[in-house]
Structure 1
Amino acid sequence: MKPVLIRKQSADARTAGDQAGDAAFSWADIGRELGVAPDGEINIAQLAVDRHAHSAHAEKTAFRFLGADGSARDISYRELAELTDRFGNALKSLGVVKGDRVFVLCGRICELYVAVLGALKIGAVVSPLFQSFGPEPIRSRIAQAAGKVLVTTASAYQRKVAALRPELPSLQHVLLVDDIGAGAFADTLDLHALLGAAPDTPALVPTSPEDPALLHFTSGTTGLPKGAIHVHGAVLTHYATARTALDLRPDDVFWCTADPGWVTGTSYGIIAPLLLGVTSIVDEADFDPLRWIHLLENERVNVWYTAPTAIRLLMKAGHELFAGHRFPDLRFIASVGEALNPEAVCWGLEAFGRPIHDNWWQSETGGIMIANTAALDIKPGSMGRPLPGIAAHVVRHQAGEPVTVIEVPDTVGELALETGWPSMFRGYLNQPERYRECFAGNLYLTGDLVRRDADGYFWFVGRSDDVIKSSGHLIGSFEVESVLMEHPAVAEAGVIGKPDALAGEVIKAFVVLKQPIEPSEELRLELMAHARRRLGAAVAPKEIAFVPALPHTRSGKIMRRLLKARELGLPEGDSSTLEQAEAQREKK
């Protein structure tokens, strides 16, 4: 596609501090806007909910929940404050105290949002789980965090959790959000009965900027998923970036399509719009192109935050799907999850009359760091420029050597951010060494390879490791391989991400069978079904190939980059660490 420049759309968009390092911007000023004193008490839920519930905006709609069955339910800021107070007080009655871990596993229904905000009110640490997870990802995350409470549906509990209870000694309380009748499941509680019995008196517990608030799991290349810990002070980033990166304004109708089990769905699907007093649309139904078009049109959405996979699916649906539909209220469209190709950015102009603004951040950053804002010209394919308060660099980094900042434009290196923004993660749960490895002095090393052009725009090149990014979800190879190896026929498994036009990447597994088991189509389907049961459809492999052996380093690590290079017909690069047996096989 021929490079184009899309001129900025909005002359009145927030431009203050649009260059990182602008002296006019300070995080202290953001705190003062929210009424927070430096180093004073700060609570995400108090600022997001109670601040509005006790103001002239109390009756304004905070969330509009659209059911898969066509129903709609509006919740005002006043009602949300009452419900979250009841939930917080219900948790207190169960002995939940500040710092305890609360997990939420359900679809995009009112109870999920009430549980997240109510738990934050009392200082509990909240971790929403992706609703499509299978039993193993659920078990590993609750076990790592010593989760005390799980809020879920009866169906999810029966299919995914009940059999795991003996393996989760920390899990004291399971609260079911649907009415299934008393005693249907042992050792569970009826959430609505608890809420009915709990007082709606203020549940708020004092919390400080550094008190843990959110726990977002992100997969790595080896070992267990990493639990990124975020604090209540992160709310300053949520507030500032919602205005600058998403151009959100108090009178807007906002739709963030991300599931709260993904960090975007928590930071920008729950917290950020509430901070600004915005009305958010929450759609319970799965993706459907025509439903989404009707929703954008009929709900008069002003700002829409979605993912590249959804955009590509809408593009695939064809222009005829948009015939007769108009979107005069839609002012700003943004995307996150993986790099957005230039064609998709420009397609937004054709379909909606608005370009799509790509932005970049990670679970670890807690909020948007680099973005194509409404106040900037767009270079399609670019991540954009650093937001106010964010200093980003392209660096060269080798283990055991000093970090070198690359000043020459368009030179590929690792993206590094200067520490100090409020939503920077404060640790990986129970993994202090992995956390320390992310930093070099005052720089957070993101693991993403980028280049910066002469105008200060950043361009994504790729990951520096082999984490798989599929439909916006980070998937660790080790986690998938471990589940495949649970099957009695499997001796070893190696997993890679394979490019896909819609999902970005899909998972392909290479499986070595135990002797004397022979490969068969029946066994391949059996392994795929096993993986789907254990991991869920979003994480399970889409392809499985049987191979006689996997390439390893001399230390025993699977060389996934070699698997990927061979699959895609790419140069295999340095094989000096390849174990001797594999090297000899390659010579034959």
Structure 2
Amino acid sequence: MRPGIIEKVTNELRVTPNWQDSVQARAAFSWNNEASALAGLPDGGLNLTFEAVDRHARGPQPDRVALRLLDRAGQASDISYRDLSLQTNRFAHLLRGLGVSAGERLFVLCERSLELYLGVLGGLKQGCVVSPLFSAFGPEPIATRMRLGDGSILVTSEALYRRKVAGIRSGLPSLRHVLLFGVPEGEPMPEGTLDLHALLAEADDSFTMAATTADSPSLLHFTSGTTGTPKGALHVHGAAVTHYVTGKYALDLHPDDIYWCSADPGWVTGTSYGILAPLMLGVTSIVDCAEFDAERWYQILERQRVSVWYTAPTAIRMLMKAGTALAAAHRFPALRFVASVGEPLNAEAVWWGLEALGQPIHDNWWQTETGGIMVANTAGMAIKPGSMGKPLPGVEAAIVSIENGQLTLQGDDQVGELALKKPWPALFRAYLGQEERYRRCFAGEWYLSGDLARRDRDGYYWFVGRNDDVIKSAGHLIGPFEVESVLMELPAVAEAAVIGKPDPLVGETVKAFVSLKGGYIASPVLHDELLGHARKRLGAAVAPKELEFVASLPHTRSGKLMRRLLKARELGLPEGDLSTLENPS
């Protein structure tokens, strides 16, 4: 067993952390004080892109690199804050020239290219409600989201349009304009589309920002339900304050950092922390156009001298699966902070980061609905591997239970639902067209996350499971994450997932699905070793009764482990919404 805590000594860290956690610092924190660091629009309004881009373009270092785009060959193209301001002005100007009004829904379906960033940031300048989509979505998920969002403008490439949009366009009556790029030279534009780059070339690079305020709608992020249609969570421009604060305190961004968020902007993390938060802090962001490849990722960390890296547990486990020799072949002298989000991070992965990267991996917790990081292991905190960390400044969290409509605060080490006291600037304002579902997210002044957790005596929060993932066996409430973490303690295990199976005697029994690291082979001996280890660590009541080896486990493209899909397949139940599944086949 490893020790239970990774201590930090501030004067031994390469950079003094932005957040020094203390009772006094928390008492002194104010959202209004933090908002004063932003510029605001001349008429007292607020706009995400103005704060992320134009504030720096008009500041003392307009030529600082905002985006460093890496093509598939690894060649870099740098875009300064000044350039990004001018190019997003052109995009916003062309929208205005097409008669696009503030409040219209603009969808962006792009791989990680400059056009994606122009679409998101330029659309926000014109006051559009912007919704980035996964480029890997198939036609039906795209159509579903665009219909739910009443999308009137789409930015996409010729290849994606031809493969995924042309066949569904007749079913999108609100779609007025398709802005296309990447049409092969000499070929005509597809019917009913506009040449994005031709319009950009003609557009003025000066632009008067739309009159947005902190309460103006800004971003529309879709999050899948377990069975029904996706939920469209609507956010506002006031979220700029949360992006600024969490980028500074949760990710510890400093002006000279080279930052890389490996999340796709089709996921809320890729927008909030791949586009907006790093730009709010004026840092340089790495944008990699290629998909995951362990060697390529290590090279990016090394050659680009990445200092702060934000990634997902799935990617970390894939790196772990690739073996320690590959990591040992590289050096990461600039890397000083690594964070993860999407699924709770097992303790073994936190320790692996310390051994392979020279830095422990800092887990944090938030949701599409919260709009930003709420609970985190920050740079100056001691880490308890396996914990989500502590609430950030300005965030009041609690463990609650609700019975007969009454909310009760739970004490330390009690399991309950993780709740957050509202308001905070990035809290979502609606589920599009689902008012009753939105209302059910709140109990008085508390936002109810649907995640079960506990808080220890030191104020650290520990994830137990989603309400609908928790296993009830013979009176025990078993959190999947706890069981999975124990299985991952053995060196053979790359990843584990557990589900509850109906049992007439005890209610549910625990079944585990395990994928192995390279070099290990599934066998009856290993099967029994894993079950025996779990029984020894967890006790017979909590340990799995069944274990099945699988080649891989199902994830969403945002890295979330799809336990409910494993359960549906195991029990022959409907599989529900699979639109965000990483590999739908």
TM-score range, shorter chain: 0.7 to 0.9
- Deviations along 1:285-305, one digit per CA (max 9) or x if unpaired, are 110001111110110000000
Q: Shift of residue 28 of structure 1?
A: 0.4
Query: Does 2:545 correspond to 1:540?
Result: no
Q: Shift of residue 34 of structure 1?
A: 1.3
Higher relative contact order (CA 8 A, sep 6+): 1
Residues 1:353 and 1:88: Cα distance change in structure 2 (over 3 Å):
same
Q: Match of 2:277, SS? A: helix
Structure 1 distance, partners of 2:92, 2:3, is 52
Tell me the residue number matched to 1:147: 151
Q: Shift of residue 271 of structure 1?
A: 0.4
Structure 2 distance, partners of 1:226, 1:216, is 8
Tell me the residue number matched to 1:413: 416
Tell me the residue number matched to 1:429: 432
User: Are the aligned partners of 2:419 and 2:446 in contact in 1 as well (CA < 8 Å)?
Assistant: yes
Q: 1:25-104 counterparts in 2 under 5 A?
A: 25-36=29-40, 40-104=44-108
Structure 2 distance, partners of 1:63, 1:271, is 11
Q: Match of 1:28, SS? A: helix
User: Are the aligned partners of 1:357 and 1:373 in contact in 2 as well (CA < 8 Å)?
Assistant: yes
User: Are the aligned partners of 2:21 and 2:380 in contact in 1 as well (CA < 8 Å)?
Assistant: no
User: Are the aligned partners of 1:247 and 1:374 in contact in 2 as well (CA < 8 Å)?
Assistant: yes
Q: Shift of residue 353 of structure 1?
A: 1.0
Tell me the residue number matched to 2:259: 254
Q: Shift of residue 188 of structure 1?
A: 0.8
Residues 1:510 and 1:116: Cα distance change in structure 2 (over 3 Å):
same
User: Are the aligned partners of 1:17 and 1:23 in contact in 2 as well (CA < 8 Å)?
Assistant: no
Q: Find 2:273's aligned residue among 229, 250, 268.
A: 268
TM-score, normalised relative to structure 2? 0.80
Structure 2 distance, partners of 1:35, 1:86, is 22
TM-score, normalised relative to structure 1? 0.80
Structure 2 distance, partners of 1:403, 1:166, is 48
Matching residue's letter, 2:161: Y
Residues 1:78 and 1:500: Cα distance change in structure 2 (over 3 Å):
farther
- Deviations along 1:315-360, one digit per CA (max 9) or x if unpaired, are 1111110234211110100000000000000011110111000000
Structure 2 distance, partners of 1:170, 1:137, is 17
Structure 1 distance, partners of 2:207, 2:442, is 40
Query: Does 2:220 correspond to 1:228?
Result: no
Matching residue's letter, 1:425: F
Tell me the residue number matched to 1:306: 311
Structure 2 distance, partners of 1:234, 1:498, is 39
Query: Does 2:218 correspond to 1:174?
Result: no
Tell me the residue number matched to 1:317: 322
User: Are the aligned partners of 1:18 and 1:387 in contact in 2 as well (CA < 8 Å)?
Assistant: no
Query: Does 2:427 correspond to 1:463?
Result: no
Q: Shift of residue 200 of structure 1?
A: 0.6
Query: Does 2:295 correspond to 1:290?
Result: yes
Q: 1:561-580 counterparts in 2 under 5 A?
A: none
Q: Match of 1:403, SS? A: strand
User: Are the aligned partners of 2:126 and 2:209 in contact in 1 as well (CA < 8 Å)?
Assistant: yes
Q: Match of 1:444, SS? A: strand
Tell me the residue number matched to 2:110: 106
Query: Does 2:388 correspond to 1:377?
Result: no
Q: Match of 2:53, SS? A: helix
User: Are the aligned partners of 1:427 and 1:435 in contact in 2 as well (CA < 8 Å)?
Assistant: yes
Residues 1:537 and 1:406: Cα distance change in structure 2 (over 3 Å):
closer
Q: Shift of residue 177 of structure 1?
A: 2.0
Structure 2 distance, partners of 1:203, 1:337, is 37
Q: How many residues align?
A: 494
User: Are the aligned partners of 2:91 and 2:203 in contact in 1 as well (CA < 8 Å)?
Assistant: yes
- Deviations along 1:360-391, one digit per CA (max 9) or x if unpaired, are 00000000000000111000000000000000
Identity of aligned residues (%): 56
User: Are the aligned partners of 2:431 and 2:438 in contact in 1 as well (CA < 8 Å)?
Assistant: yes
User: Are the aligned partners of 2:419 and 2:448 in contact in 1 as well (CA < 8 Å)?
Assistant: yes
Q: Match of 1:286, SS? A: coil
Q: Find 1:127's aligned residue among 125, 131, 156.
A: 131
Structure 2 distance, partners of 1:132, 1:465, is 27
Tell me the residue number matched to 1:164: 168
- Deviations along 1:211-256, one digit per CA (max 9) or x if unpaired, are 0000000111343111001100001000001111111001100000
User: Are the aligned partners of 1:20 and 1:388 in contact in 2 as well (CA < 8 Å)?
Assistant: no
